[in-house]
Amino acid sequence: MLRQILIHTVARRAAIVTLIQKGAVRGICHSQPCCSSDVELTSVRYPGVQRGSYSQLSDKHVQHFKSILPKERVITDEDDIAAHNVDWLGMVRGASQIVLKPKTTEEVSAILKYCNAENLAVCPQGGNTGLVGGSVPVFDEVVISTSLMNNIISLDELSGVLVCQAGCILENLDSYLSERGLMMPLDLGAKGTCQIGGNVSTNAGGIRLIRYGSLQGSVLGIEAVMADGEVIDCLSSLKKDNTGYHLKHLFIGSEGTLGIVTKVAIQCPPSPKAVNVAFLGLDTFDDVLRTFKEARSGLGEILSSCEMMDMLALDAATTNLNLQRPIGEFPFYMLIETSGSNGTHDEEKLTSFLEGLMGSGIIHDGTVASEPSRIKLMWKLREGITEGLLHDGYVFKYDISLPHNSFYAIIPELKTRLPAEKVGRICGYGHVGDGNLHLNITTPKFDPAVLKIVEPFVFEWTSKLKGSVSAEHGIGFKKTQYIHFSKSQSSLNLMKDIKKLMDPKGILNPYKVLPAQH
């Protein structure tokens, strides 16, 4: 029995590493969004959002786009466009009539120059794995897909700086780097589909931010195209460049509202020589916090991830996706990863850490893996939660940052507020190391009554605790009316001024990020 095996090893340090023995775990498929006409149009579900005074697509426009791109990269077939109109969660659906697929910065520039002159609104789109409706049109915007902009331009193996086009898939970049002893500084559940341009444009966080920091620090340079077609070359590959304003930061996290990212220069760390993952069972959230505190002090420089899942969150992956839970049933689970250069040293530190917590009764069960295949199985449990929740029906998703001592308190509070007969599950998981909670409420289908109870309560609760209404997913379309809970009015005014300066006609990803666009 797994519990007995692990408890007995407390007395035998060398034997503490146990391996998962059973079953393969399927990965997440983010490549197939809910592109069904059953998804209600955004304009219908959110009637308060009014279409801007933009031009409507005409045959003249289509013909001009075909003079910029080969006709096979100007998509007008309704069936081919369908997947680009719907987010993969099935929360929002636009009504775009055209998808353009440029391959070069010059083509993006020509497209935007024409759209700006003709007052055509555009929606930049990468892998379309976003969770706040930022990557799909709201009405009939022209979709500009970066999926064919997928070339790796250069890699300096000495400095670890990778330069690539925005449409490169994150997992492909990581595979390319791993063959050269390097790795991408971010890792996401959607890595098999998401694109680096979208990652940068949303300032994606991911599961290893605690070790490698945010993209604000890893991205050294950016090339982007502004609304009028002007190319902004900030593609520096230097770690230190203190010459004037750091313009790259205007495009990191602005979600395509200030310009379309076309190239990225990113600092890539060396791949670790030794990786271990511990999957642990705990009784209370206080025990989760105590474990995190001990992990920071006991594991120190080798700690690369610290994830938390409650029982209902993990159940979404195990029950709905037929994945196997590696330990018994507990109210809370943690996944802790270490990465370092010396396997013996790292194993000794992890062993000492686990012995102490098990001896004090904080951890009640667990298993540890050091083989890559077994590590992948454990991570698939954590990464499968998002997909698993979709099998419940509709998912109300909230990505919030909170102080650690209040990290989980909103979940029991919502359980008292929401009628049990209306919801499937109310659960939480996320990056406890970063204070980032993914709060999820599932219902059989979209329910306005549930939405009314949950919003704006979740954002008000977060604001009172001085948290953030968007920890890593961005604002997109879904959170524009709630951004004021995390940004002062003076900050919002400055953001609006920057938007007006860089995109006077407001054609770039309208109805997103800024509340005034509604």
Q: What is the pLDDT of residues 387-422, one digit of tens each?
A: 999 999 999 999 999 999 999 999 999 999 999 999
Look at residue 188 and give its three-state secondary structure: coil
Alpha-carbon distance of 372 to 274, in angstroms, equals 10
Neighbours of 40 (CB within 10 A): 15
31-40, 54-63, 237-246, 465-474: which has the minimum mean pLDDT? 31-40
Cα 8 to Cα 299, 334, 367, distances in angstroms: 22, 20, 12
Q: Which amino acid, one-letter code, is at 451?
A: L
pLDDT at residue number 516: 61
Other beta carbons less than 10 A from residue 50's beta carbon: 10
List beta partners, residue 428: 439
From the CB of residue 321, how many other CB atoms can be counted at a distance below 10 Å? 19
3 state SS of 127 = coil
Neighbouring residues of 480: CB distance < 8 A, sequence distance ≥ 6 = 511, 512, 513, 514, 515, 517, 518
Is 177 in a helix, a strand, or coil?
A: helix
Provide the CB-side half-sphere exposure for 136 (13 A, CA): 29
The mean pLDDT value for 142-171 works out to: 98
Q: Is 27 left (phi over 0), alpha (psi -120 to 50) or beta?
A: beta
Mean pLDDT score, 237-256 = 95
Q: What pLDDT is stored for residue 129 in this prediction?
A: 93
If we measure between CA atoms, which residue out of 432, 437, 440 comes closest to residue 462? 437
According to the model, what pLDDT value does residue 52 have?
96
Q: What percent of the chain has pLDDT over 70?
A: 92
**Average pLDDT over the chain, rounded to an integer:** 91
What's the pTM?
A: 0.90
Neighbours of 95 (CB within 10 A): 15
Percent helix, strand and coil across the chain, each rounded to 5? 35, 20, 45
Contacts of 117 (CB under 8 A, 6+ apart): none
Residue 34: its pLDDT value, please? 52
Q: What is the pLDDT of residues 3-39, one digit of tens each?
A: 333 333 333 333 333 322 222 333 334 444 454 568 8
Overall residue count recorded for the chain in this entry? 518
Q: Which amino acid is at 85?
A: N
Position 497 scores a pLDDT of 97
Residue with tokens 């009637």: 47
> Lowest mean pLDDT: which of 14-23, 44-53, 254-263, 465-474?
14-23
Query: What's the pLDDT tens digit per position in 328-382?
Result: 999 999 999 999 999 999 999 999 999 999 999 999 999 999 999 999 999 999 9
The pLDDT, as a whole number, for residue 37 is 67
E strands present in 254-294: 260-267, 274-282
pLDDT at 282: 98
Question: What is the C-alpha to C-alpha distance for residues 361 and 284, in angstroms, rounded to an integer?
Answer: 11
pLDDT at 321 over 70: yes
Residues 291-317: tens digit of each pLDDT? 999 999 999 999 999 999 999 999 999
Fold of domain 273-391: Alpha-Beta Plaits (3.30.70)
- Residue whose entry in the numeric block shows the structure tokens 């002090």: 297
Structural domain boundaries of the chain?
A: 273-391
Helix (H, G, I), strand (E, B) or coil at 155: strand
Encoding tokens for residue 431? 């990056």
DSSP 14-78: GG------S--------SS----TTSPPHHHHSTT----SPPPP-HHHHHHHHHHS-GGGEE--H
The pLDDT value given to residue 379: 95
CA 413 to chain centre: 26
Q: What is the 3-state secondary structure (H, E, C) of 385-422?
A: HHHHHHCCCEEEEEEEECCHHHCCCHHHHHHHHCCCCC
Left, alpha or beta for 90 (phi > 0: left; psi -120 to 50: alpha)? left
> Residue 189: what pLDDT?
86
Q: Is the dihedral of CA 226, 191, 459, 481 positive or negative?
A: positive
In this structure, what token pair is assigned to residue 197?
A: 């341009």
- In angstroms, the CA 365 to CA 181 distance is 34
At position 469, the amino acid (one-letter code) is V
Radius of gyration of the chain (CA): 23
CA-wise closest residue to 122 among 110, 136, 132:
136
Where residue 428 falls among pLDDT bands split at 50, 70, 90?
very high
From the number of C-beta atoms within 10 Å of its C-beta (0-12, 13-18, 19+), residue 66 rates as middle
Task: At 87, list the tokens.
Answer: 């987010």
| Residue 121, both tokens | 């609104």
For range 315-326, the mean pLDDT: 96
- Contact by Cβ (8 Å): 153, 126: no
